[in-house]
A = this chain, B = another copy of it.
């Protein structure tokens, strides 16, 4: 690797002292110089293809212009848009994004976080949703600005960007009630993950708001967000002889598993049961039946999180200690053919 041209080279080329060159190349200090020398230095830098060494600079300024992002994984359908939103927002203002994923293990989350801390990132975006996860001390001590995505923390001690699960479940339940359903089941996701838990709470709330009988609206725990577990939970429901006419699943995959279980028994969706999902992942609009689901602006979530983080970092050391109210992003209902009026069954 040919060694890069340094500031010293530029200074020599321009016939000035190295510190003069530094000032000329730095927006904020350029006005301390005569425009002639400044121009000369800039020309020299251009000529030599000078690029400041970020490490040398960072060593002085204590900033890395990088932020770390921890994700539960890279594959789940709603993750890439979040990543994209954050990446674009950050790169526009010169920040680089480091990524780490934990593959659903909170020990790896911690490891990823510690790697980022070691690398002295200027900020952190944590999209890990495990409720049992405790961040490293340095994070807790607010030494590095941090925002949460899809996860709120009990004491609001960090800014959080979350989908409004309560509103979403309200939309879903009202949609079903509008179709005549009064006995509605919920197939819940993993309750150790905030999205799983909060959607369940949202469901309970929505049922109450709608004036339905909680006793007639059972909740099944699928324990995960996978289709097979939705299938299992729904099978159990169907075999129990329960008389619900609609099933609200905590995400799209669980909903697909439910539909499988229903169809396996020779029953139809939405003829015998209406089923709803959550996330509006790709191609669920093309399935038969097309899935009624909740759409969330995931890309915007990433972007909002990044902007919030930029604000935080701009505030510098004086971290606001006051509780941060979570920023809720509005969901929308996408009604398709997996839901319909209550049948005569």
Contacts and interface: CB of A to CB of B under 8 A. Distances in A.
Interface in A46-104: 51-56, 58-59, 62, 64, 66, 73-75, 77, 79-81, 83-84, 87-88, 91, 96-101
How many copies of this kind of chain does the complex include? 2
A66 B2 CA distance: 19
A100 to B, nearest CB: 7
A71 B287 CA distance: 29
Interface residues of A, number: 49
Nearest to A98: B96
B64 A75 contact: no
A98 B96 CA distance: 7
A143 interface: yes
A235 to B, nearest CB: 18
Contact of A317 (B1, B66, B283): B1
A120 interface: yes
Nearest to A112: B91
Contact of A287 (B74, B101, B287): B287
B73 A84 contact: yes
A282 interface: yes
A280 to B, nearest CB: 12
B74 A64 contact: no
Interface of A: 1-2, 51-56, 58-59, 62, 64, 66, 73-75, 77, 79-81, 83-84, 87-88, 91, 96-101, 112, 115, 117-120, 141, 143-144, 256, 281-284, 286-288, 317
Given A54-B55, A55-B64, 14 more contacts: A1-B144, A51-B117, A55-B58, A56-B59, A66-B98, A74-B80, A83-B99, A87-B101, A91-B112, A96-B100, A281-B283, A283-B283, A283-B286, A286-B287
The 8 closest A-B pairs by CB, nearest first: A74-B84, A283-B283, A55-B55, A55-B58, A55-B59, A74-B80, A288-B288, A1-B143
